[in-house]
Amino acid sequence: MSTDIFRCIDHVGYAVTDLDAAIRFHTEVLGWRLLHRETNHEQGVEEAMLGTGDQLPENAQVQLLAPLSPTSTIGKWIANNGGRGGIQQVCYRVDDIEAASAALRQRGVRLLYDAPKIGTGGSRIQFIHPKDAGGVLIEVVEPAAGH
């Protein structure tokens, strides 16, 4: 895939079974900072974004995703992963999610949603089907203004 669509890696997403414990590990042991925490009922997760700095794009980020129920997408992912968490997805940042989605579809890539959904902090998100990306779930994000 050409970099004409993507600006950079936005974050790596980790599925976790205990969000508070994962936040403590990443902040107290690894030295990351909690940037944002929210519950996304549509996606079925409680999530936290952690970073190494204050400004993007210099700020490396990880997203911690805990299921709201065992039947949520993340809950099922954890169950299929032996009840353990782990790296669940990599996310690429774009300037225009509509243009990126159109370009990806034109290049023969299947997307999981007909139209972008709302993600962390009001961002707009889409996902590339893992079968079209070598088994990796790739998220595409257009950050909300000011993020």
The dihedral through the CA atoms of 30, 124, 88, 78 has a sign that is positive
In the chain the first and final C-alpha atoms are separated, in Å, by 25
**DSSP E strands, 4-137:** 8-15, 33-40, 45-51, 61-67, 86-93, 117-118, 124-128
Residue 2 placed within a domain:
no
Token duo for residue 13? 């997403």
Q: Give, for all 147 residues of the chain, the pLDDT tens digit.
A: 445 888 888 999 999 999 999 999 999 988 899 999 999 999 999 999 999 866 555 567 899 999 999 999 999 999 999 999 999 999 999 999 999 999 999 999 999 999 999 998 899 999 999 999 988 999 999 999 876
Residue 43 placed within a domain:
yes
In this prediction, residue 1 carries a pLDDT of 42
- Strands 86-93 and 61-67, by their bridges, are unpaired
Q: Which domain holds residue 52?
A: 8-142
Tallying the residues shown for the chain, one arrives at 147
- If one counts the domains in the chain, the total is 1
Residue 103 placed within a domain:
yes
The dihedral through the CA atoms of 35, 41, 42, 43 has a sign that is positive
In this structure, how many other beta carbons lie within 10 angstroms of the beta carbon of residue 47? 21
Residue 3 placed within a domain:
no
Residue 147 placed within a domain:
no
Tell me the pTM.
0.85
Residue 101 placed within a domain:
yes
Residue 115 placed within a domain:
yes
Residue 25 placed within a domain:
yes
The CATH number covering residue 70 comes to 3.10.180.10
In this prediction, residue 8 carries a pLDDT of 87
